[in-house]
Structure 1
Amino acid sequence: MREWFAEYLEALNRHDLAALRELIEPGVRRAHRPGGVEAWVSELDELYRGFPDWKVRRIQLVIEDDRIAAHLRGSGTHAGSYRGIAATGRHVNTAEFVFCRLGNGRITEVTGSDDAELLRQITA
């Protein structure tokens, strides 16, 4: 599962939405967010358009049975519109805590951080 998660992070950092679709179950359940892979990919697409240099790095990874808990750092420069906020040129750096369940090599459930801290950094 460590190799699988490394592949997932590489796809995130390449902004490879097609590869991410293959790593996420079509009917993925997401806590406090619209379900389904297309909703998730749409949010990532908006993030990548707003932060074209967006990168994620792993700080800590815990694996137990079919679950992954990850502490990640996301960062990038606000160079395009994001959530209706015009580019500010600000560099942001956020902590992310993600909890996933995998089935058949795909994320079937996920919960974790939202974009509140990212939004605070571009609107403060």
Structure 2
Amino acid sequence: MSPDELRYWFEDYLEACNRHDLDALRSLLAPDVRRAGAPGGVDAWLRDVELLLEAFPDYRWKRIAVVIEGDRVAVHLRTRGTHRGTFHDVRATGRHVGAAEFGMFRVVGGRAVEYAGTGDEALLAQLRD
């Protein structure tokens, strides 16, 4: 994929995230996508997103920076949402939280095949304070 195609791929990915459109996300991820430190496969990825959105129904991602190199897309995002449901065993607090998120996608044939990035620690820290 060209750098422009990778940029468009990420724009589609980010828009699907912000629409909370799990079907669109599925079309952008390889069935056997690998994630550093998390269960692999598209179903596990989407289940984690679903749990996040159940806990933060207004969750949004904002692009700060995108860097393309080869078949990789590096991103810096800012996230925000209101804690309305249980998240990692923390009951709803009603708190509005936000965090910086960093990720590295490897994209082949229009689908992410690998991902490594920041986890949920920053959100959890805000909920437990």
Give the shorter-chain TM-score range.
Answer: over 0.9
Distance 2:8 2:114 in 1: 19
Match of 1:67 among 64, 72, 78: 72
Structure-1-length-normalised TM-score = 0.98
Gaps of 5+ in 2: 1-5
Q: CA RMSD in A?
A: 0.6
Structure-2-length-normalised TM-score = 0.94
SS in 1 for 2:77: strand
- 1:89 maps onto 2:94 in alignment: yes
- 1:54 maps onto 2:42 in alignment: no
The aligned amino acid for 1:78 is: H
The aligned amino acid for 1:51 is: F
The list of structure 1 runs, each at least 4 consecutive aligned residues, that deviate by more than 4 angstroms after superposition, is none
Match of 1:45 among 41, 50, 55: 50
In the alignment, which residue of structure 2 is the partner of 1:79? 84
Gaps of 5+ in 1: none
Distance apart, 1:115 and its partner CA: 0.3
SS in 2 for 1:18: helix
Task: Give the total of aligned pairs.
Answer: 124
- Could you tell me the percent identity over the aligned residues? 52
Cα offsets for 1:57-96 (capped at 9, x unmatched):
1000000111000000111000111112111000111000
Distance apart, 1:53 and its partner CA: 0.3
The aligned amino acid for 1:98 is: G
